[in-house]
């Protein structure tokens, strides 16, 4: 079975999507999920472009990745500069990444109009950049920018650009449809031509401006490309990049190529939803393969048929990509997911146990209220344990009050929270300030409990996200709060839902503390 390398650029290209902004902690969490999925290369960002990406490359070294290799992205050295003096090249080497991907101009139009140098000098820029990096990192990939537009305008020039990188020792030549305007038949023909002119393995990097990024990526693989670059859920600038959630199953399940281990392919839907949650984006229900509606059936002939033979209206087995069949009106999905998650949490649950049905009903009711547990697995584990009687209460709330006070127009508001809790027979009453009402409430709760549970001193709140759930209701809308917490060993996500943002935040904060204490004390 031919192997195709999967190169994920969600953390760079994906972060360039409108309305998407990943923190360093977001990027690290996504990195771990991509590694669990079995992605070969994870492009972490451009270390020379901003402090956030520079910090990511420092912190990612501490992660224990089992499948993925981290790649740093940058560009060839600047015109009229020596490669050894170029700061961008230096930061790529200093990032510590084992793989470096550099973007190089391969459309003579760009060289003439943007670089304003003789086009022959571009060959030296590419060659010198690749050769310099090749002596200092394990692998070097060239992203041939605007390659297909350039090839149609001047094929001889674009091929010479590739050959310059090849002569310098590039490990993969990635052909990019940067404007996303070429059709699959054009992509396939050009890749076939290029395969005959270079010996270095080819990759493909498609943008989705013509809604053809997935189809063009598949066409390029058929023509000889061995690496596919893309993003989870197709996130990316303008209309996005090739969606790996479609590319991977189309190649592996339908086309006979090997992209991921079969057992890891089943994590695809979970990773898709995780990235959307971290990006604070709504899940696209009708997304192929991983969407809620991808294997949903509603009434009549379809339901009758799939109950007898699922393949009558399903193009693949949904379990292959971690999805499940759904019958609308009387929804039959969910039990297998609950059993699988229980097993992950070390909870023994018999398939025929009535508790499975109880958990499923509780889950459906909570989801109806707006709860989502992707990105909040700690809350879901607590839900399971509460239904199964495996949870214990560590404290009872007597009451809290949160005050925001702004004294002068140009001064920031002052936030203070007062809280009273009962731990066994002890009542603790305390107050704390914070950077905003939620931070103040978090500080007050911790302050009240740390006397009884000193292990909470190690817990830190890493991230906090809010999503409006009921559009059209303005400031009275229901909101979902997603909190990420962590200690020295791990991180976990919790969730809360309410029309009151403080109450939703309280739910997520309490789950975070409960999870930590349950983990420590059992």
- With bands split at pLDDT 50, 70 and 90, how would you rate the model's confidence at 81? confident
> Rounded mean pLDDT of the chain?
92
pLDDT in tens, 150-161: 999 999 999 999
- With bands split at pLDDT 50, 70 and 90, how would you rate the model's confidence at 282? confident
Q: What is d(CA 164, CA 123) in angstroms, rounded to the nearest whole number?
A: 6
Q: Give, for 415, the enclosing helix (H) or strand (E).
A: strand 414-423
**Secondary-structure class of domain 5-278 per CATH:** alpha beta
| pLDDT higher at 475 or 382 | 382
Q: What is the pLDDT of residue 104?
A: 97
In contact, 205 and 225? CB cutoff 8 Å: no
| pLDDT higher at 412 or 216 | 216
Q: What is the pLDDT of residue 334?
A: 54
Q: Which of 364, 403, 370, 365 is nearest to 499 (CA)?
A: 370
76: β partners: none
CB neighbour burial string for 381-391, b if at least 16 within 10 angstroms, e if fewer: bbbbbebbeee
Token duo for residue 367: 């989801």
Q: What is d(CA 429, CA 444) in angstroms, rounded to the nearest whole number?
A: 9
Q: What is d(CA 385, CA 390) in angstroms, rounded to the nearest whole number?
A: 5
- pLDDT at residue 331 above 50? no
Token duo for residue 98: 């084992």
Q: What is the pLDDT of residue 299?
A: 59
In contact, 101 and 72? CB cutoff 8 Å: yes
* Across 83-92, 94-103, 274-283, 322-331, least confident range: 322-331
List all residues 6 or more positions away from 252 whose beta carbon is below 8 Å from its beta carbon.
258, 259, 260, 265
- With bands split at pLDDT 50, 70 and 90, how would you rate the model's confidence at 75? very high
pLDDT in tens, 239-270: 999 999 999 999 999 999 999 998 999 999 99
Q: What is d(CA 24, CA 17) in angstroms, rounded to the nearest whole number?
A: 17
Could you give the 3-state DSSP secondary structure of residue 102? strand
pLDDT in tens, 12-39: 999 999 999 999 999 999 999 999 999 9
- pLDDT at residue 336 above 90? no
Q: What is the pLDDT of residue 330?
A: 32
Q: How many CA atoms lie within 13 A of 345 on its CB side?
A: 24
Q: Which of 117, 107, 122 is nearest to 153 (CA)?
A: 107
| pLDDT higher at 412 or 331 | 412
Q: Which of 54, 143, 55, 75 is nearest to 106 (CA)?
A: 143
Q: For domain 349-382+459-522, give the CATH number.
A: 3.30.160.340
Q: What is the pLDDT of residue 304?
A: 65
In contact, 199 and 250? CB cutoff 8 Å: no
Q: What is d(CA 159, CA 107) in angstroms, rounded to the nearest whole number?
A: 10
Q: What is the pLDDT of residue 333?
A: 41
Q: What is d(CA 279, CA 286) in angstroms, rounded to the nearest whole number?
A: 18
Kindly list the domain boundaries of the chain, sorted by start residue: 5-278, 349-382+459-522, 395-452
Q: What is the pLDDT of residue 133?
A: 98
In contact, 174 and 145? CB cutoff 8 Å: no
């Amino acid at each position: 079975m031919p192997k195709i390398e999967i190169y994920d650029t969600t953390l760079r290209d994906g972060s360039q999507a409108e309305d998407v902004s990943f923190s360093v902690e977001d990027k690290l969490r996504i990195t771990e999920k991509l590694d669990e999925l079995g992605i070969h290369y994870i492009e972490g960002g451009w270390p020379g472009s901003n402090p956030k990406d520079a910090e990511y490359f420092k912190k990612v070294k501490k992660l224990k990745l089992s499948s993925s290799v981290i790649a740093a992205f940058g560009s060839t050295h600047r015109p009229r500069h020596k490669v050894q003096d170029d700061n961008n090249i230096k930061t790529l080497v200093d990032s510590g990444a084992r793989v470096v991907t550099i973007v190089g101009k391969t459309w003579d139009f760009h060289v003439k109009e943007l670089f304003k140098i003789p086009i022959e000098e571009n060959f030296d820029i590419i060659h010198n950049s690749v050769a310099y990096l090749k002596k200092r990192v394990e692998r070097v990939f060239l992203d041939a920018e605007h390659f297909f537009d350039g090839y149609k305008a001047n094929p001889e020039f674009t091929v010479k650009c590739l050959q310059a990188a090849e002569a310098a020792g590039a490990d993969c030549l990635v052909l990019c449809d940067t404007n996303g305007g070429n059709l699959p038949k054009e992509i396939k023909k050009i890749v076939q031509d290029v395969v005959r002119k270079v010996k270095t393995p080819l990759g493909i990097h498609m943008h989705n401006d013509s809604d053809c990024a997935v189809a063009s990526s598949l066409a390029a693989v058929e023509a000889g490309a061995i690496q596919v670059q893309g993003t989870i859920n197709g996130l990316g600038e303008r209309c996005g990049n090739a969606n790996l959630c479609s590319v991977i199953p189309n190649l592996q399940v339908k086309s006979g190529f090997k992209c991921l281990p079969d057992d890891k392919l089943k994590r695809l839907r979970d990773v898709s939803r995780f990235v959307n949650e971290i990006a604070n984006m709504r899940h696209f229900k009708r997304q192929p393969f991983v969407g809620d509606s991808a294997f949903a059936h509603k009434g009549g002939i379809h339901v009758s048929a799939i109950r007898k033979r699922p393949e009558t209206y399903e193009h693949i087995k949904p379990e292959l990509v971690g999805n499940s069949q759904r019958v609308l009106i009387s929804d039959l999905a969910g039990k297998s997911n609950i059993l699988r998650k229980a097993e992950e949490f070390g909870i023994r649950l018999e398939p025929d146990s009535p508790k499975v049905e109880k958990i499923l009903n509780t889950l459906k009711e909570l989801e109806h209220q707006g709860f989502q547990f992707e990105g909040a697995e700690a809350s879901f584990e607590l839900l399971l344990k509460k239904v199964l009687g495996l949870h214990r209460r560590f404290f009872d709330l007597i009451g809290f009050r949160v005050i925001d006070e702004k004294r002068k127009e140009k001064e920031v508001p002052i936030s203070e929270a007062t809280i009273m809790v009962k731990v066994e027979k002890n009542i603790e009453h305390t107050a704390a300030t914070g950077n905003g009402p939620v931070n103040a409430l978090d500080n007050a709760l911790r302050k009240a409990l740390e006397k009884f549970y000193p292990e909470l001193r190690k817990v830190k709140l890493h991230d906090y996200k809010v999503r409006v759930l009921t559009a059209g209701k303005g400031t009275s809308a229901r909101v979902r709060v997603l909190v990420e917490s962590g200690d020295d060993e791990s991180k976990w996500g919790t969730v809360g839902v309410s029309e009151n943002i403080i109450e939703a935040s309280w739910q997520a904060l309490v789950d975070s503390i409960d999870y930590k204490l349950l983990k420590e004390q059992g």
